[in-house]
Structure 1
Amino acid sequence: MGTPLGDFIRAKRDSIQPTELGLPERGRRRSPGLRRSDLAARAGISVEYLTRIEQGRDRNPSVQIVNALADALSLGPEERNHLRYLVKITGSECGAHPRPAPASREVRPGVLQTLRLLEPGIAAVTNRLGDVLARTPGYELVFGACGLLDTDTPNLTRYVFTDPAARSFFADWDAIADEQAFDLWLGPSIENCVWLTTELTPVAGPEFTSRLRRHTVPRRGPLHLRHPAGPELRLLRETLELPTDSQQLTVYLPADAATAQALESLRTPVRLRAIS
């Protein structure tokens, strides 16, 4: 059985062409990407040891090995952070299996007060599992019409992968799906991540599970939305991490003048005068 760490290393190896690292082509291969022997040589480890890591038979590589693999794969800063995180949670899996449990939905009073100060702006408090824990009326104006907030416990990850309306609402649905799948690896705890993936996998299907295994670090560009009322919106996202709460406060800002005008029209809909 594989591990998140092994899946990530194998996925990165498959995504790299030898020529990108200055290595010669060695004819056609049945599988794409970098050969296991080439990666092992670049990292200074044996092919057998790399195989054990990729297959999940070695779950606790040393810091030196992890850094050598990061260098050999030419990982960027965000990918290196993700690799270190996967080493941590993979090693913890050697202990007792966690009991799946839902994440806490409590938001501190000080955070709620901060959210109120942002009104009438568009802002929300979420966690890495996608739970929308608190929001401003401006957030409801933009995200309420798409069906995301129709439940008592709205969850963006569940909405993206299970509600057909999400593909129309998010113009860049693939990018948003990548973000939501990746963020599950950064969930409040391993237990909570297990809880959501156990619930989500049966209903979300391969669109979800393939992204979860791919470990693609998202770029998180502007959010492009097709609002059900008509206007297209482009929003920049400014996120404040709340590490002690395992939550984030995100503020959405218009990326252009057209979006600012569209948001203003949503806030002040035209009232038709009665015909006398």
Structure 2
Amino acid sequence: MGTPLGDFVRAKRDSIQPASFGLPEHGRRRAPGLRRSDLATRAGISVEYLTRIEQGRDRNPSPAVLNALADALSLDAAERGHLRYLAKITGGACAGHRPAAPPSRHVRPTVLATLRLLEPAVAFVTNRLGDVLAHTGGFASVMRESGLLETREPNLTRYVFTDPRARTFFADWDQVADEQAFDLWLGPSAEASEWFKAELAPLAGQEFTRRISRHLPPPQVPLRLNHPTGQELRWERERLELPPTDAQELVVLLPADEATEQAMERLLRSGGALHAIG
């Protein structure tokens, strides 16, 4: 007997023409669509395992396998969300990996006081999930028109992978995307990282999921921002780890050239105050 998850994967596979993935046609076939072997190869799993999923004999595929299938089938955001839902109701592992709540967003008063001392520098407190927990007015001046700070609980990783404006704002978007995905391995806890990856994967799609299995740290290079004012800003980054109990870090952006320093002086005329985010 099949399962909703297996039925969905099989139906989606049957709906795909091999030519759309650059695969050769194999002549007349009894079943339409993509061969099971072709899908298994694209997903990096065995044909036998894919068969068990489609036939409902494996009801607990891991989040990594679900992401691999979503990538291999080129699912859009809505289809990825549906795949994740079907995995939950089928009894998949996704439901069991989510902790009761996301990590704390609390920033200690002494850390906030340190940020005040750094004004008008461009600095913020974050965790390795990308949550922007507090920031200086200088940071707000730089990010004001990027869209990052428009949400109640801004998150840099989510912004990079889901907001189209990020691809313009970050001159080296691929580099920044690699950095944010790699940072998830260093999150507040393994449970928090798994929770966040499961939350983001259906929204961010293959650009995110193909990066989260990489284990090599990306190179350290200056951060280049295409600021909405038309100025390219170049920054060196200092990342200062707070005590392990905080599971947070203080990031300071330092102008990498004179042009950025002068542009920052102009931006700061608009002002801005320290902001801790709820």
Shorter-chain TM-score: what band?
Answer: 0.5 to 0.7
Distance 1:148 1:98 in 2: 25
2:127/2:247 contact within 8 Å kept: yes
Q: Which runs of 5+ in 1 are unaligned?
A: 1-30, 32-55, 57-92, 270-276
1:97 Cα deviation (Å)?
Answer: 5.1
Structure 1 match to 2:189: 189
1:132/1:156 contact within 8 Å kept: yes
2:141 is paired with a residue of what secondary structure?
Answer: helix
Distance 2:158 2:100 in 1: 17
Structure 1 match to 2:12: none
Structure 1 match to 2:249: 248
CA pair 155-98 structure 1, distance change in 2 beyond 3 A: closer
CA pair 194-100 structure 1, distance change in 2 beyond 3 A: farther
Distance 2:154 2:98 in 1: 25
Structure 2 match to 1:155: 155
CA pair 253-194 structure 1, distance change in 2 beyond 3 A: same
Distance 1:106 1:236 in 2: 27
1:265 Cα deviation (Å)?
Answer: 1.6
Structure 1 match to 2:119: 119
Distance 2:188 2:123 in 1: 20
1:216 Cα deviation (Å)?
Answer: 3.0
1:264 is paired with a residue of what secondary structure?
Answer: helix
Distance 1:98 1:199 in 2: 9
CA pair 170-97 structure 1, distance change in 2 beyond 3 A: closer
Structure 2 match to 1:203: 203
Percent of pairs with identical residues: 63
CA pair 267-190 structure 1, distance change in 2 beyond 3 A: same
1:139 paired with 2:139, answer yes
Which amino acid is 1:256 matched to? D
- CA RMSD, aligned part only? 1.9
Structure 2 match to 1:104: 104
Distance 2:116 2:129 in 1: 23
Say how many residue pairs are matched: 177
Distance 2:219 2:143 in 1: 22
Distance 1:144 1:246 in 2: 26
1:175 is paired with a residue of what secondary structure?
Answer: helix
1:209 Cα deviation (Å)?
Answer: 0.4
1:268 Cα deviation (Å)?
Answer: 2.9
1:127/1:246 contact within 8 Å kept: yes
1:208 Cα deviation (Å)?
Answer: 0.2
1:235 is paired with a residue of what secondary structure?
Answer: strand
1:123/1:139 contact within 8 Å kept: yes
1:267 paired with 2:268, answer yes
Structure 1 match to 2:83: none
Q: Which runs of 5+ in 2 are unaligned?
A: 1-40, 42-61, 63-92, 271-278
TM-score by length of 1: 0.61
Which amino acid is 2:220 matched to? R
1:154 Cα deviation (Å)?
Answer: 0.1
1:178/1:216 contact within 8 Å kept: no
2:120/2:136 contact within 8 Å kept: yes
Q: Which runs of 4+ in 1 moved over 4 A?
A: none
1:188 is paired with a residue of what secondary structure?
Answer: coil
Which amino acid is 1:187 matched to? G
Distance 1:237 1:224 in 2: 11
1:261 is paired with a residue of what secondary structure?
Answer: helix
2:170/2:225 contact within 8 Å kept: yes
- For each residue in 1:169-209, what CA deviation from the matched residue of structure 2 results, as whole angstroms up to 9, or x when unmatched? 00010010000000001100112112211110001001000
